[in-house]
């Protein structure tokens, strides 16, 4: 029979286990697959590699179905479309800050977290080590965006600035949006 002290200890330990949040990395690299479903239920699949560093720096290297790079520091977005030989640069007012999203995440169920950030709700799935495994949300065009990460490598410190930059061939057309 458990006494009151043992029951309280078990309760405190179980709360701390369930209160454990998502392991927020200083940086990570992963393969990704992305599925975008528009309001008319048309689905587009993408895949490639993603790099995350310093809380808000992201670089997406799309390899399928088109070859493109997307880089952001949370304030500026650069899209390099290698198939179109075009570079587009945008200033963004609502940055996607993955680090802040992860920190705002609240446990919803066993391995699912929910975060509210910049007026959007994000659903985050984690693995057994509480590392990010998938993200789902609705974008500004009401598209359902689902991103799954595989072969995740968490790291300490920041990734090199060269690794986080998009390649910008001089021969490409440049559009400032």
Residue 177 domain flag = no
Q: What is the pTM of this model?
A: 0.79
Q: Mean pLDDT throughout 149-155?
A: 92
Quick one: how far is CA 26 from the chain centroid?
Answer: 13
| Banded model confidence at residue 79, pLDDT cuts 50, 70, 90 | very high
Strands 86-91 and 173-176: parallel
Residue 11 domain flag = no
In degrees rounded to 5, what are phi and psi of residue 17?
A: -65, -45
Residue 74 domain flag = yes
| Structural domain boundaries enclosing 102 | 23-167
CATH code, domain carrying 44? 2.50.20.10
Residue 37 domain flag = yes
Residue 119 domain flag = yes
**Cα distance between residue 147 and residue 143, in whole Å:** 13
Residue 5 domain flag = no
**36 CB-near residues (< 8 Å, 6+ apart):** 43, 44, 46, 139, 143, 144, 145, 146
pLDDT tens digit sequence for 4-59: 343 333 333 333 333 356 777 889 999 999 999 999 999 999 999 999 998 788 99
Would you say residue 61 has pLDDT above 60?
yes
Number of domains in the chain: 1
Q: What is the pLDDT of residue 151?
A: 94
Comparing CA positions, the residue from 139, 165, 140 lying closest to residue 78 is: 165
């Amino acid at each position: 029979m458990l006494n009151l002290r043992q029951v309280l200890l078990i309760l405190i330990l179980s709360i701390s286990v369930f209160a454990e949040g998502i392991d927020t990395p200083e940086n990570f690299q992963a393969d990704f697959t992305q599925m975008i479903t528009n309001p008319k239920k048309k689905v587009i699949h993408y895949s490639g590699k993603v790099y995350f560093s310093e809380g808000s720096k992201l670089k997406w290297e799309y390899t399928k179905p088109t070859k493109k790079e997307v880089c952001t520091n949370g304030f500026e977005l650069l899209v390099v479309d290698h198939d179109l030989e075009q570079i587009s640069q945008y200033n963004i007012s609502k940055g996607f800050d993955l680090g802040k999203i992860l920190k705002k995440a609240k446990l919803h169920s066993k391995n699912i977290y929910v975060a509210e950030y910049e007026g959007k709700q994000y659903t985050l799935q984690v693995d057994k080590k509480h590392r990010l495994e998938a993200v789902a949300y609705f974008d500004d065009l009401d598209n359902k965006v689902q991103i799954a990460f595989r072969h995740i490598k968490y790291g300490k410190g920041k990734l090199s600035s060269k690794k986080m930059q998009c390649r910008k061939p001089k021969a490409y057309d440049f559009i400032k949006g």
